[in-house]
Amino acid sequence: MPDLQAILEPLVRIRGVRGAVLLSASDGVVITEALAEDIQSAGVAALAANLADHVTALSEVLGRGNLRCLQMHAEKGSILIARVPGDMLLAIVTGPQTPVGLARLELLRAAEQVA
Amino acid sequence: MRTIEGWVEGPLRGFVDDAAPRLTLIMTGSGQVVAQHGFARSLDVMSAAALGAGIMASSQELTVLMGWPQFRILVHQGMRQSHLLAQIPMPRANWIGLVVFGTETKLGVVQFFFERMVEQLAAAAPVAEPPRQVLAIDFERELNASLRTLFGR
């Protein structure tokens, strides 16, 4: 089993990233987390799992296959979610100043390491 | 959805809308049903209230025996249906919440919105009164009284 905390820590060192949460995809509960700020990780886990379910369903309807990575950009930041083999998801919450391309690259790299 | 205490309805409705449980039961520690969602028969409510209160009581005793800190939430995950049983800290005394949910929602979602409902209930609750002792006879009487109010018989 890889050191999950060591995999998540570099994600929160990216500028503006507020937290990284590894979660169970089917249950929507936190497996482990690294937080730069006090975010509601339980809420992030629950709603990220729900969102991933719906986007996966949409992707399947459109014939795009399984979800790999999901980016949601809002006024005050973004949420990036990557699927991790073994019924897991890795989510990061960013601020508006976060370089999203770098965050996405590191997220996918971390997801591979967890797997 | 039926509620005995009007101020419970808002938080419970929010929980039901957001978490999509199949059944929800909120009761006092003495078995008085405060609110229910999804139950069609008073008999089911009576059984669920008695079993839920019993499970909470025996689980609490188990933690005392083991010298563990008090727990608040108990989850049974089944293949098609799961149950969440939790204490709801209220100003007067702890209440108990029982939630039955299926694969159309998730444990994390139910737990997250349940905690939100708990906060809303605590904020909406009337000013505290001194707690009173819970007796077995009170449990049965209060359960029957609340069932009459909830189901009209």
Are A46 and B115 a contacting pair at CB < 8 A? no
Residue ranges in B20-91 assigned as alpha helix (H) = 42-66
Average pLDDT value for chain A? 92
Are B108 and A45 a contacting pair at CB < 8 A? yes
Contact residues, chain B to chain A, C-beta under 8 Å: 77, 105-109, 111-113, 115
- Write the single-letter amino acid at B99: V
- Write the single-letter amino acid at B125: A
Give the pTM.
0.77
Q: What is the ipTM of this complex?
A: 0.71
Grouping H, G, I as helix, E, B as strand and the rest as coil, residue A39 is coil
pLDDT reported for residue A49 = 94
Grouping H, G, I as helix, E, B as strand and the rest as coil, residue A37 is coil
pLDDT of A7 above 60: yes
Give dist(CA B61, CA B67) in Å, integer: 10
pLDDT of A83 above 80: yes
Q: Nearest by CB to B106, which of A30, A43, A46?
A: A46
Chain B interface test: which of A29, A33, A39, A56 (most B C-beta within 10 Å): A29
What residues of B are in contact with residue A53 (Cβ under 8 Å)? 106
- B33-37/B2-3 β-pairing: antiparallel
Please state whether A88 falls in left (phi above 0), alpha (psi between -120 and 50) or beta.
Answer: beta
Low-confidence ranges of chain B (pLDDT < 50): none
- Write the single-letter amino acid at B68: W
Are A28 and B115 a contacting pair at CB < 8 A? no
